[in-house]
């Protein structure tokens, strides 16, 4: 590992989209909360302190939102995999871990959640 390896995290990214398998869930948008941990070499940005040498998390957050809104998922697993795919498209990202949380799915359950981890070049 290089000295500059690290993580950039998006914590609590809210995404409104169609998610769920039940007929009533297919008729309305729900809020998912994502936590995204991007593994990347931080050496360039540590040396320059410049945005072009890292991941623009504002832009990436919006790209994730757009990707999830464009599709209508049944399972949170599929939504997590989609978000991970979007992150790995960024040239600076080597690996990503995405946790997706969906609240209110079942009475008495605060949330259901899934975590997926992906590395660039590995299916």
Domain range list for the chain: 5-119
State yes or no: pLDDT of 1 exceeds 50: no
Q: Are 116 and 34 in contact (CB under 8 A)?
A: no
Residue percentage of the chain with pLDDT more than 90: 85
> Tell me: the pLDDT tens digits for 35-73?
999 999 999 999 999 999 999 999 999 999 999 999 999
For the domain spanning 5-119, the CATH number is 3.30.1130.10
Compute the distance between CA of residue 27 and CA of residue 30 in angstroms, rounded to an integer.
10
Whether the Cβ atoms of residue 36 and residue 78 lie closer than 8 Å to each other? no
């Amino acid at each position: 590992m290089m000295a500059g390896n690290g993580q950039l995290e998006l914590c609590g990214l809210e995404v409104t989209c169609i998610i769920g398998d039940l007929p009533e869930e297919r008729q309305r948008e729900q809020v998912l909360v994502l936590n995204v941990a991007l593994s990347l070499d931080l050496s360039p940005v540590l040396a320059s302190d410049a945005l072009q040498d890292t991941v623009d998390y504002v832009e990436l957050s919006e790209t994730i939102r757009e990707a999830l809104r464009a599709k209508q998922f049944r399972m949170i697993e599929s939504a997590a995999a989609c978000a991970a795919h979007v992150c790995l498209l960024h040239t600076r990202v080597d690996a990503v871990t995405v946790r997706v949380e969906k609240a209110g799915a079942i009475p008495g359950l605060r949330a259901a959640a899934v975590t997926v981890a992906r590395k660039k070049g590995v299916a």
